[in-house]
Amino acid sequence: MCITPKNVAIILLAYADFEALEIALANYSKHLNEQMSLYILQNGRDNYDCERTYRVAKRYENLYPKNIKVVDWIKPQAPYCSIKELLLSKEFDKYDYVCKVDDDVFPLRSDWFDKLIECYNVSKNRYGEDLAYATGLVNNNPWGFNEVLDIFNLKAEYFENIAMEHLVGGFGFEPAKIVPKDAIYTGACGTIWRNPYISRWLHRQTSLKPELYIEKTQNLGFKEVDNTKRYSINVMLFRKEFWYDISDGSNDDEAMVALYCKDKNKKIVADLSDPFVHLCFFTQREENKDLLPEFRNIYEKFLKLPYPISMCPNKAYENENRLRYVESKLILPNNQSSKQIFKYLFSVGICGTHKIITILGFKIKYKRKNR
């Protein structure tokens, strides 16, 4: 069965990175057509950043009501579980395939969706049931980084001026190790993952030059991704049942995908002529946050949309909004006790396998150690 745009749903998983989401949705909205359905799965609520992200999502739902739908009826949980619950819902009975994208990843080409579908169909004819998913060329990505350096002929500059000895791996999938400056590690937590300064340099060569990025990649073909390495799943098109097949009882969707593809020798195919921008891994977010205004300026010119990318580009106004949100949480109805105020100011709770610490309404969630 060949995929058509009508039987594919695009799922964008959103949490709290509202500034990146604004840039990503601006790019998706530019390339929407009547056959595309984009679901924004809001997977976090009840703190300022999550609620602000939700407002961004609702803004785009209002702008494009025929194409975009915000999913706010599924409770926030591990991303794998939220997506699985959505796939099992009646809303998704009409779809056979899923295109999952991260909230800080976006395509550049107007025909990106058709190209991704073509990549899947061609690869399916070649590999049959051994195909896991199709993807594009994501620049800020351990595998894509190495590909982009070759495509842009940037390796000499990288090794001469940018590269350093660096740490890679870790986080359970592969052991951490130090690699020399003359090597690029494309596996789990690879060379670009831990090093924001490298992604900053790469963005200046690619993401912030969208016309050049499209031009450099337009005549490239398909390439199989090494399925023995953990590949960051920034964008992936797959058969809906694939999401159920990868389940191993854990909640780390990226690790589950990687282990499943490695153990089952499932194929991952990238269309190198379908360029995507990935703004930042969480390891890069703080150091490279100052690039976001530059991204907004570049892409407002590139996209030529009739509305601004950001709902509130002025940081002073944004901080006022944040303070108002905190103030609204502190002013509680008369029938609520002082204990609830203290719970808002500081509390520690347990939710399944995770511990949640709340400080001034901001929730910090981390996995408890097994005893």
- According to DSSP, the β-strands at 38-42 and 8-14 are parallel
CA of 206: how far to CAs of 51, 149, 179, 353, 368, in Å?
31, 10, 25, 40, 39
Percent of the chain scoring above 90 in pLDDT: 72
In a domain, 346, yes or no: yes
Query: Residue 354 — very low, low, confident or very high, per pLDDT cuts 50/70/90?
Result: low
Residues 24 and 134 in one domain: yes
Question: Is residue 146 one of the residues assigned to a domain?
Answer: no
**Is residue 247 in a domain?**
yes
Q: Which pLDDT value is given to residue 231?
A: 73
The two structure tokens encoding residue 263 = 């153990």
- d(CA 133, CA 271) in angstroms, rounded, equals 11
240 lies in some domain: yes
Residue 16 lies in a domain: yes
Range of the domain at 249: 5-139+221-278
How far is it, in rounded angstroms, from Cα 251 to Cα 190?
A: 21
Tokens found for residue 253: 């969707």
Distance between CA 261 and CA 174 in Å, rounded? 15
Shared domain for 272 and 342, answered yes or no, is no
Lowest mean pLDDT among 5-9, 53-57, 357-361: 357-361
For the stretch 174-188, pLDDT in tens is 788 999 999 999 988
One domain for residues 257 and 335 = no
Contacts by residues 262-265 (CB-CB < 8 Å, ≥ 24 positions apart):
262/227, 262/228, 265/130, 265/227
Using a 10 angstrom Cβ sphere, with 0-12 exposed, 13-18 middle and 19 or more buried, the burial of residue 284 is buried
Total domains in the chain come to 2
Q: Are residues 359 and 232 in the same domain?
A: no
Other CB atoms closer than 10 Å to residue 225's CB: what's the count?
20
For the chain, where are the alpha helices, taking DSSP H only?
18-30, 48-63, 79-87, 112-127, 142-151, 155-157, 196-205, 210-217, 242-245, 253-264, 285-288, 292-303, 315-330, 338-345
Q: How far, in Å, CA of 186 to CA of 142, rounded? A: 5
Inside any domain, residue 310: no
Q: Same domain for 17 and 132?
A: yes
Same domain, 360 and 225: no
Question: Alpha carbon 21 to chain centroid distance?
Answer: 9
Mean pLDDT of the chain: 90
Residue 297 lies in a domain: no
On whether both 233 and 359 belong to a single domain, the answer is no
Q: Report the pLDDT value the prediction gives residue 336, as an integer from 0 to 100.
A: 54
Across 354-370, average pLDDT: 69
- State the pTM of this model: 0.87
Closest CA to 149 of 197, 193, 206: 206
**Measured CA distances, 136 to 124, 139, 202, 221 (Å):** 16, 10, 17, 11
- Residue 60 belongs to domain with CATH number: 3.90.550.10
234 shares its domain with 325: no
pLDDT in the model for residue 4: 81
pLDDT value of residue 136: 97
Query: Which is more confidently placed, 241 or 335?
Result: 241
**Per-residue pLDDT at 257 exceeds 80:** yes
Judgement on whether residues 270 and 322 belong to the same structural domain of the protein: no
The residues with which 97 forms a beta bridge, in sequence order, are: 8, 239
Would you say residue 264 lies in a domain?
yes
- Specify whether the CB–CB gap between 20 and 105 falls below 8 A: no
Residue 108 neighbours by CB distance under 10 Å = 23
**pLDDT greater than 60 at residue 126:** yes
Q: Do residues 49 and 134 share a domain?
A: yes
